Amino acid sequence: MYTTTIGNYTKETNFFNCTTPFELINEFDSPLYVYNENIFRKRLKEIKNLVKYKNFVPHYSVKANTNIHLLKIVKDEGLHVDTMSPGEIYMALASGFSSNELFYIPNNATQDDLNYAINKKILTSVDSLSQLKLYAELNPNSNVAIRFNPGVGAGHHQKVVTAGKKTKFGVNMSEFDEVKKILEENNLTLVGINQHIGSLFMESDAFIESTTNLLEFAKEFDTLEFIDLGGGFGIPYHKQEGQKPLDLIALGDKLDNIFSNFAKDYGREIQFQIEPGRIIACECGIVLGTVTGTKQNSDTTYVGCDIGFNVLARPIMYDSYHDIEIYTKRENPDLINQPVTVVGNICESGDILAKDRALPLPEYGDIIAIMDAGAYGFAMSSSYNQRPRSAEVLICSSGEVKLIRRRETFEDLIACMK
Ligand code: LLP
């Protein structure tokens, strides 16, 4: 067996079910993305049942994790999906979703991007006047949706705040007259409006404020069939410090109120949608890696491992924090925490997973696990430094471990150059 020297998320959630991190690395090699089906389904159900309002169709934002085996579970749980590129549309259709279960919300789409969705009969939301004009040229006399900027943004980092004054996203509400003109001139019917204010908020205030703004504005249009409020619902990355999850019950109650009041004012029970990615996929996934050793430089103790930013890009990209667990087979391991900096194997000094983190000192052969890596983990990974991308495995509810994406090979690295 093995000892977990720090953290207890995987123990508390029975994450490894019938297997162990050592068995997994033994069989599938390192580094390795591991997902737990029970946790994934639990989150899908929570989102599906967020509100009591009848005409509610939650979408899973596939950009967070696009593994086809996970998408099939999303379909099985009855959610729809939002996509942002032809590739995401391709993946969603390949996992069994039908066109009317997809919503396409691209940004700076080319003609080819738009035509891809038009040919597949997927409803598209455009997010600028120029994109609306382009869409009108390609597909006049049709239905369209528009992403508006509700004026209020939120998110864990400026890079992922997608509403307000400093963002490339969304049509401004002040552009209302021009929007109406383009719609009328091209016989386009505005069937939906949407927002996405940014990614990862733990308090719902900004989301409720932007939603209130959007719904007030929605009353200007009488053709709407749905309103989509976007994603952005956060998860507690600091569980080891006792961080609490977003209060979904309170949020659901607020939304229920807002939805039914809007339905009264609008005169019908319009469809409401949300499209979260992170809150659904994040906590069901971790990355396992191998500790390669420790070293001292000046006053920093480095713990090295094989999880570089090619495997998990979030820390270098946003200074993101992820809880860490360490597993060892050593007898009587030292459990005393000391400040260490955990780094990967990429040839850049920025390749840091965790800075000055209090951890017990691991040794070569111990396994390091990065928590909450199911969203924007594998999806943002690369083969930088010519490290083939990791494998992904799913610990099924039955306890069976399924390889859901094989590890890339050196052949894969060269395949597109042939
Ligand atoms: N809808 C739209 C239009 C989006 O752009 C996004 C995320 C979502 C929904 C889902 O947002 P979520 O519920 O997952 O927060 N790579 C960053 C996050 C980027 C989010 C991009 N858009 C990260 O790792 O934190």
Return d(Cα 19, Cα 14) in angstroms, integer.
10
Q: What pTM did the predictor assign?
A: 0.98
* CB of residue 316 inside a 6 A radius of ligand 1: no
Q: What is the pLDDT of residue 156?
A: 92
Half-sphere exposure of 263 (CA within 13 A, CB side): 16
Ligand 1 midpoint to CA 61 (Å): 7
Helix (H, G, I), strand (E, B) or coil at 341: strand
Q: How large is the average pLDDT for residues 34-40?
A: 98
Return d(Cα 28, Cα 31) in angstroms, integer.
9
Q: Which of 275, 245, 272 is nearest to 256 (CA)?
A: 272
Q: Return the sign of the alpha-carbon dihedral for residues 293, 334, 240, 286.
A: positive
Ligand 1 midpoint to CA 279 (Å): 10
Residue with tokens 């703004």: 213
* CB of residue 198 inside a 6 A radius of ligand 1: no
Mean pLDDT, the chain, whole residue set: 97
Q: What is the pLDDT of residue 398?
A: 97
Q: Two tokens at 186? A: 């091209």
User: pLDDT of 173-213, one tens digit each?
Assistant: 999 999 999 999 999 999 999 999 999 999 999 999 999 99
Q: Quickly count: other Cβ atoms within 10 Å of residue 357's Cβ.
A: 19
* CB of residue 280 inside a 6 A radius of ligand 1: no
Ligand 1 midpoint to CA 236 (Å): 16
Strands 271-273 and 324-328: unpaired
Judged on CB neighbours under 10 Å (0-12, 13-18, 19+), 360 is middle
Q: How large is the average pLDDT for residues 394-405?
A: 98
Q: What is the pLDDT of residue 381?
A: 98
Return d(Cα 14, Cα 231) in angstroms, integer.
28
Return d(Cα 49, Cα 44) in angstroms, integer.
9
Ligand 1 midpoint to CA 232 (Å): 6
Q: 104, 196, 282, 321: which to mutate for ligand 1, most atoms within 8 A of CB?
A: 196
Residue nearest to atom 3 of ligand 1 (CA): 196
**Contact of 120 with 112, CB cutoff 8 Å:** no
Residue nearest to atom 20 of ligand 1 (CA): 199
Rg (C-alpha) for the chain, rounded Å, is 23
Read off the amino acid at residue 152: V
Residue nearest to atom 5 of ligand 1 (CA): 196
Residue with tokens 């894969």: 412
Q: How large is the average pLDDT for residues 13-24?
A: 98
Bond from prior residue into 31 cis (ω within 30 degrees of 0) = yes
Ligand 1 midpoint to CA 134 (Å): 25
Q: What is the pLDDT of residue 263?
A: 97
Residue 337 — very low, low, confident or very high, per pLDDT cuts 50/70/90? very high
User: pLDDT of 259-302, one tens digit each?
Assistant: 999 999 999 999 999 999 999 999 999 999 999 999 999 999 99
Residue 223 — very low, low, confident or very high, per pLDDT cuts 50/70/90? very high
User: pLDDT of 234-257, one tens digit each?
Assistant: 999 999 999 999 999 999 999 999
User: pLDDT of 123-174, one tens digit each?
Assistant: 999 999 999 999 999 999 999 999 999 999 999 999 999 999 999 999 999 9
H runs (alpha helix) in 139-270: 176-185, 205-218, 248-266
Closest ligand 1 atom, residue 162 Cα: 5
**Contact of 178 with 132, CB cutoff 8 Å:** no
Query: At 289, phi and psi to the nearest 5?
Result: -140, 175
User: pLDDT of 110-121, one tens digit each?
Assistant: 999 999 999 999
User: pLDDT of 347-377, one tens digit each?
Assistant: 999 999 999 999 999 999 999 999 999 999 9
Q: Is 347 an active-site residue? A: yes
